[in-house]
């Protein structure tokens, strides 16, 4: 079971919108609505931003939104702000025989 | 509020053992599944193991199966990870995480660093 595929980096200017993709297979992303997204600032623990593809936990800004089409999930950050600069990871439940959950490769978001 | 505090990390020689602990507070520990996730230096997140709320089922990544054991003591609100036959590639920050809705990892501890080196 390989990690889910994310772009290594995405950048945008303050106020812009960016989208991070997360590509898997029908055994994980495409097969279940159990995709979640995590934000991680340097030296800090990850923080849940999106669960069940498109739901935001209490306290997470509505500038963060999630969606899914086929085997690819996406995280969109609108109105980009300096504090959004961080690493972002997707994750999915998987029916693989070797794993229960799989993370994405991670995306570094840079605010220009 | 939910608090998860890992401990037990340190430096260990290849082939050695270590037991990590995760002390939980601020929620009903016995009602939630718990994960261990690790992150090698400069690398991405890797799911390691999961245990159901009552300890009835345990799941492991292939990379640790047969060497690591996840367990919990609901009377002490504590999660454990027993790590045996450690290898250099097990060097990482180990996080415990509380299960949330839709299998998401809703809350994370601050992590504990395990270094496997001679």
State residue A24's pLDDT score.
Answer: 96
Q: What is the pLDDT of residues B20-78, one digit of tens each?
A: 999 999 999 999 999 999 999 999 999 999 999 999 999 999 999 999 999 999 999 99
Q: What are phi and psi of A49, to 5 degrees?
A: -115, -35
Test B102 with A36 for CB contact under 8 angstroms: yes
Test A48 with B46 for CB contact under 8 angstroms: no
Residue A93 has pLDDT above 60, yes or no: yes
Question: For residues B27 and B34, what is the distance between their CA atoms, to the nearest angstrom?
Answer: 12
User: In the 8-state DSSP scheme, what is residue B109?
Assistant: -
**More confident call, B102 vs B51:** B51
Test B47 with A47 for CB contact under 8 angstroms: no
DSSP SS3 for B103 = helix
A1 confidence band (pLDDT: 50, 70, 90) = low
Give the chain B residue whose CA is nearest to the CA of A50: B104
Strands of B2-111, DSSP E: 3-7, 10-12, 18-25, 34-39, 45-51, 58-60, 68-73, 78-83, 92-99, 105-108
């Amino acid at each position: 079971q390989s990690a889910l595929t994310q772009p290594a980096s995405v950048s945008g200017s303050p106020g812009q919108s960016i989208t991070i993709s997360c590509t898997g297979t029908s055994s994980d992303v495409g097969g279940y609505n159990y995709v979640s997204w995590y934000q991680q600032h340097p030296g800090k623990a990850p923080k849940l931003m999106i669960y069940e593809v498109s739901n935001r936990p209490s306290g997470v800004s509505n500038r963060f939104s999630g969606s899914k089409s086929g085997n690819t999930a996406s995280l969109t950050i609108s109105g980009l702000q300096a504090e959004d600069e961080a690493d972002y990871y997707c994750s999915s439940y998987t029916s693989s025989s070797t794993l229960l959950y799989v993370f994405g490769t991670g995306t570094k978001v840079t605010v220009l | 509020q939910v608090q998860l505090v890992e401990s037990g990390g340190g430096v260990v020689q290849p082939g050695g053992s270590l037991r990590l602990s995760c002390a939980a507070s601020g929620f009903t520990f016995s009602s939630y599944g718990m994960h261990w996730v690790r992150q090698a230096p400069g690398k991405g997140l890797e799911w390691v193991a999961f245990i159901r709320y009552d300890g009835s089922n345990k799941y492991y990544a292939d990379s640790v199966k047969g060497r690591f054991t996840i367990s919990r003591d609901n009377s002490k609100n504590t999660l454990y990870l027993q790590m045996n036959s450690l290898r250099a590639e097990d060097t990482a920050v180990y996080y415990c995480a509380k299960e949330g809705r839709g299998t998401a990892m809703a809350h994370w501890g601050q992590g504990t660093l395990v270094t496997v080196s001679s």
